Amino acid sequence: MGATLSDGSDSPPGRRPASLQQSRPPQDIGLSPVAARGTPATALLAKLGIAYSVHEYPHDPRHGSYGLEASEALGIPPERVFKTLVADVGGTLTIGVVPVTGQLDLKSLAAAAGGKRAAMAGAIAAERATGYVVGGISPLGHRKRLPVVIDSSALRHATVFCSGGRRGLEIELTPADLVKAAAAAVADIAAPG
């Protein structure tokens, strides 16, 4: 019998990266009561039956970069940690997911989303559309359905990390599962940082 996944099902050995083979629901992995409540992102993953791991760390509001803070606090190479950015592409709010070490290439995002130009959305618009606060915006489980484009560099890794929907809360999952859960397009949308 395989490992238990976050949805309680079994999988044959070798089907998931080792770090996800032991995934359990957040309430079973010793997290604080705040993390155990879950978020819309973790609820979506559970609903879809997608394996994931939850990683919590103490957020320092003085840190200059949410994504780099997660990388440092969790001891993960920064190229495996992805940030979620909200842009306006031709009047449609669109999510761009890029490594924390890079920047969002707005021209490439616009092209991938079928628009002519893009500009970063304001914090208030991003928070209203997603239901999350800046620094805790997840690429999953938004209040309003938004197009999502994930940088193709995510596919180079067995697993990636992205915000779980709260500052100090990261979720780890396979890139293919992230693409599936977000109903995302994949394109080269990152520029070097």
Q: Which residues contact 99 (CB under 8 A, 6 or more apart)?
A: 78, 79, 80, 81, 82, 83, 151, 153, 154, 190
Q: Which residue matches tokens 């190229």?
A: 79
Which of 24-33, 69-78, 122-131 tops mean pLDDT? Answer: 122-131
29 half-sphere exposure, CB direction, 13 A CA radius: 20
Q: Do the domain assignments include residue 25?
A: no
Q: Do the domain assignments include residue 116?
A: yes
What average pLDDT does range 47-70 have in this prediction?
A: 83
pLDDT digits (tens, 9 = 90+) for 80-96: 999 999 999 999 999 99
Q: What is the pLDDT of residue 77?
A: 93
Which of 9-18, 32-41, 163-172, 180-189 tops mean pLDDT? Answer: 180-189
Contact 14, 3 (CB under 8 A): no
Helix, strand, coil abundance in the chain, percent, nearest 5: 30, 25, 40
Q: Do the domain assignments include residue 11?
A: no
What tokens appear for 41 in the block? 């992102």
pTM assigned to the model = 0.80
Residue 57: which CATH number? 3.90.960.10
Is the alpha carbon torsion for 160, 163, 167, 168 positive or negative? negative
What residues pair up with 118 in beta bridges, in sequence order? 89
Q: What is the pLDDT of residue 183?
A: 96
Q: Report which of 190, 111, 114 is spatially closest to residue 150, judged by C-alpha positions.
A: 190
Q: Do the domain assignments include residue 22?
A: no
Q: Do the domain assignments include residue 6?
A: no
> What DSSP character marks residue 61?
T
CA distances from 7 to 10, 11, 44, 162 (A): 9, 11, 11, 19
Q: What is the pLDDT of residue 37?
A: 64
DSSP 126-139: HHHHHSS-TTS--S
Q: Specify the long-range contacts of residues 44-48, CB closer than 8 Å, at least 24 apart.
A: 44/140, 44/141, 44/181, 45/6, 45/140, 45/171, 45/173, 45/177, 45/181, 46/6, 46/7, 48/180, 48/181
CA pair distance 74, 142, nearest whole angstrom: 25
Q: Report which of 130, 123, 94 is spatially closest to residue 109, judged by C-alpha positions.
A: 94
Structural domains of the chain, count? 1
Q: Find the domain containing 136 and state its range.
A: 38-192
Between 16 and 76, whose confidence is greater? 76
